[in-house]
């Protein structure tokens, strides 16, 4: 009871909410539980099929990427979501914004092509630089590499949505938040009942 004579309020901490979640699971019969698990698997497989379809349509191994740094400001800001294509018959030109991977780095880099070196046999090599950087990217390439080649390109920016990718950045910076969000989403899908 509280000091003013009224009824005391009891606030359940998170573990109580988790117990309710397990209680919901126990109340489901096996058929409902299987249905919910299949529903969850269908959502995951649908997302994977959409992703693979985008890969085929765009020609890029990663058709959507998030800008992780401010090196391309003011063109793109941290958290912008980029849409990429990578058609091999379309030549790379100076001024284009490309996403490339270099040996020894896991994360692709989004920078602008500033110089093209075209050989007589049609092979093209190019140099990149971030719009907000003072120097070109030769310091980012693997040791002894002065130019990028077409094989290094993941895709070319064709459009973007500003700041939509901040959720991805937050989940990468705070892994516990990512796992908590995934657990809540998974629990919601498993426990949501059809009315």
Question: Which pTM does this prediction carry?
Answer: 0.71
What per-residue confidence (pLDDT) applies to 105? Answer: 85
Report the distance separating Cα 178 and Cα 181, nearest Å. 5
Q: Which of 60, 80, 137, 152 is catalytic?
A: 137
Q: Is it true that the peptide bond before 74 is cis, omega within 30 degrees of 0?
A: yes
Q: How far is CA 122 from CA 87, 98, 116, 133, 152, in A?
A: 16, 19, 12, 30, 17
What per-residue confidence (pLDDT) applies to 52? Answer: 95
Nearest by Cα to 99 from 132, 70, 66: 66
What per-residue confidence (pLDDT) applies to 12? Answer: 46
What per-residue confidence (pLDDT) applies to 20? Answer: 58
Q: How far is CA 66 from CA 25, 43, 113, 121, 141, in A?
A: 36, 23, 19, 35, 20
Backbone angles phi, psi at 155, to 5 degrees: 180, 175
Q: Tens place of pLDDT for every residue, the chain, 195 residues? A: 444 444 444 444 445 455 555 566 566 677 777 887 888 889 889 999 999 999 999 999 999 999 999 999 999 999 999 999 998 888 889 999 999 999 888 889 999 999 998 888 878 899 999 999 999 999 999 888 899 998 999 999 999 999 998 888 888 888 888 888 888 887 777 676 554
What per-residue confidence (pLDDT) applies to 180? Answer: 87
What per-residue confidence (pLDDT) applies to 179? Answer: 86
Q: Is 71 designated active site?
A: yes
Nearest by Cα to 100 from 143, 51, 157, 53: 157
Q: Which of 60, 80, 111, 152 is catalytic?
A: 111
**The total number of residues written for the chain in this structure:** 195
What per-residue confidence (pLDDT) applies to 188? Answer: 78
Q: Is 117 designated active site?
A: no
Question: Other C-beta atoms within 10 Å of 129: how many?
Answer: 19
Q: Which of 45, 60, 69, 71 is catalytic?
A: 71
Cα atoms found within 13 Å of the Cα of residue 124, Cβ hemisphere only: 16
């Amino acid at each position: 009871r509280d000091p003013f004579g009224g009824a005391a309020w009891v606030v359940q901490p998170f573990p109580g909410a988790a117990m309710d979640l397990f209680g919901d699971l126990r109340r489901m019969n096996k058929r409902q539980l299987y249905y919910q698990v299949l529903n969850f698997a269908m959502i995951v497989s649908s997302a994977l099929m959409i992703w693979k379809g985008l890969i085929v349509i765009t020609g890029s191994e990663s058709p959507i990427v998030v800008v992780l740094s401010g090196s391309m400001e003011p063109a793109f800001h941290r958290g912008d979501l980029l849409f990429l294509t990578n058609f091999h018959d379309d030549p790379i030109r100076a001024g284009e914004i490309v996403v490339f991977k270099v040996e020894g780095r896991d994360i692709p880099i989004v920078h602008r092509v500033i110089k093209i070196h075209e050989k007589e046999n049609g092979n093209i090599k190019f140099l990149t630089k971030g719009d907000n950087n003072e120097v070109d990217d030769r310091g980012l390439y693997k040791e002894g590499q002065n130019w990028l080649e077409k094989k290094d390109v993941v895709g070319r920016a064709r459009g973007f949505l500003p700041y939509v990718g901040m959720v991805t950045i937050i989940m990468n910076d705070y892994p516990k938040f990512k796992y908590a969000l995934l657990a809540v989403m998974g629990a919601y899908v498993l426990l949501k009942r059809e009315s």
